[in-house]
Structure 1
C-alpha cells in the first residue's frame, strides 16, 4: 500500500550519539539496536474509522523522532507500519453511518496520509494494509494450530470455529506478563476493556486472544487455508513485523494503551511462530487528555490535526507544541499549547533570519540538541536548548537550521 510523500531531511555534519529509549518490558533505558548498524522499527498503525487526533499525532511524531535520531547517528533504518483496515470498530462505525466499510477505511487512510505529510512525519518503508495480508496471516495461524499454540472454540453462529491462542503453552522466549509486567487481575480488566473477550465460553483461559474469527453473516470474509473468516487483532502485527523486518526487531512502538493486550499478545504470537522475541525494546507514548478526559474516538473529545489545520494553524506549530512534551508522559492539551508554540516558532524564525550573534557557540548548541534527543527522545530538552540559544545571542548558522530540521523536523526561516 502507498504511504505518503517523505519530507526532505538535510545532511548535517558529524554524527549524533546512539539514542537510548525506555523499554516498558524491563523498565530500563536501553540501546535497542544492541550496537548494530541497522535499526528496525515497527509502529502499530491506525484503525481508519475517524480523523487523526493529537494522540495519534504525538505517537507517530515520537517514533519519527526516534528514526531521525537513528539516522543522525549513522544507522540504517527500516520502518514498517500497518493499518488495521478491517476490525470491529471500523465495521461498527461504517454500519452506524450507513457507508461501505472499505470506502470509510480508504477515506480515513487518505486523510491520515495528508495529516502525516503536513506534520512532516517520515513515512514507513513498508505501509501495510491488513486486508492485503489476510492469506499470509491465515497461514501463520494454521502453523500455530499445527504446533499446538492455537485451538478451536465452537461458534454456533458460523459455519466454522474461531481460533484462539493458548497463553499458557510454554514458549522459548515469552511468558504471559513478560512485556506488560502486569498482574492477572489488571490483565483481565484491560482485556475486557480493550477488545478482548474474557467471558467467552469454551476458551481454555479467559486471557486467550482471538487469532481467527470464522465468517459471520454480514461481515467481511476471506477464503483461506483456514476456511472463510478474518484475522484477529494481535496476530496481524506479529506477522507483518516478522515478514517485513525480520525478528527480533529493534523497537515495537505504540501508545501506552497498547501495552496490554496488544503488544503483550503480539510478542507471544511472534515467540510461538519464530521461537525468538518480537523486539529488543517495547516503547510507548503517553496519553493526551482534553477537557479532563483522555482523547479518544470512543469518547468523542477529539482535537484533530485536520481541524487545527483547517482553522489556519501552521503545521510547524502543531509539531512544536507536541515536541514540547516528553513523549512518554501523560498530559492535557489546552488551547494555550498552540498559542505558546506559535510564539516560540515566531521567535525561532526571527532568530534564523537575524544573522547576528556569536557563531562560535553554534557547535555547542548542536551538541546539546543531539544529546537531549538521544537521551530517551528528550524533545522538551532539545526545544529548551534552542530557546537558550535564541535568548543567549548565539548566531543561527546554516548548520543549526539544518540540525533543527533533521532532528526536530521543523524548518525555521
Structure 2
C-alpha cells in the first residue's frame, strides 16, 4: 500500500483517487476550491466518443482569426502581451496538421469508449443521471451539414457509428423539442450525465473507502528528498506521501514550476446557463454546430454551454460571452425566447488546454514519484474514468492498457 497525494479534486483528480483507493492505496485529495472545482461542476456533462478530433486541428487557426475580434464569438482571445500565450499559440499552430490529427484520433476514440464503458458500469450501482441516448450535431445550413457528414464518414472509418439525418429524421429522433435546422448527424454512442452528481458520487465513495479529502487548501510548495518528492506544502499543513498526482486543471503549470516541469497550458474559459423550467425539454444532448453551443438535458433542467475564451486565469464572467450563447439558442430551438433566460445566473469554469489539444498523462522527468493528469480541455468529464484507471496503472508501475506516447508529460520540455 502506498500513500497517494492527489492535487486537484475535480473530475480527473477524484476519478483517479477512487481508482487508487480501489487498488488498496491510502489516498489524500487536496482541493483549493471545492465549491468551484475548475471546470468540473457546470459543464455540459457530455461523454463523447464522437469527439476524436483534438482542439488543435486544421482550420482552427483560420476560425480563430475570424472570430477573435468578436467578443460574442465561439472562440475569443483577449488581447494581451504574454510570452506564454505567444509560445502556446505557436505550438498550437504547429500541431494543427492533418497528420497529427490522424495520429490522435484512434487514441481519443479508445479513451472515450473506455470511459463510456466505465460510466455505464458505475451507473449500474449509482445514479448520477447517466443517459445513453446519443448526441445530435445540429446544422442550420446545408454547408455545415455537408461538413459534418464528412466527419461522420471519418467516424465510421474509426468504428464510431454515425448517421446523417435530414430535418424530419432529426425531429423524429427527439420529438420533445422544436428544431429549425437543415439536418443533423447522430452519434448513438454518446451519452450525458449530471457532472455535479458525478462529483458527489465520487466523493461519497471515497469517504466510504476511508480517503482523506482536504478542502480549501492551497498548494504553496514542495519538499524534495534528493530527486524524489517527499511532501507537498499547503495552507493546511505539510502532506507527506509516497506518490503524488498533479490533477490541478488550469492551475497545474504554476503548481509545478518550482520543480522545473514545464506544462504549456492556457485556461480556456467556458460558460453555461441552466434553465430550471425549459419551455421544451429535449431527450438527447445536442451541439449547435455553427454556433458551437451545447444543449444538455440534466434532470428537469436544460443546460446551454459553450465558448472558448483565452483570457488568462481571469474567472470573471464576461456578459458578452454569455450573450453569444443565448443569442444562438432560438436559431436552433425557435420556441425559446430571450425572456426565458432572464434572471438566470451564468456559470464559468477554466478548462486546461494544452497546445496540441491532448492531455498530459504519465510520469515526468521532474520527479520519479510525480504523475501528471491534466490538460483535458473540453474532454475532462468525458475522459475522467479512463484517466483514473490509467493513473492507477501508472501508480502501480503497470504497463498502461492504452499507449500513452502521444500524451507524454515532457513532450514540450
Question: Please, what TM-score do these two structures have when normalized by structure 2?
Answer: 0.26
Higher strand share: 2
Larger Rg: 1
Higher helix share: 1
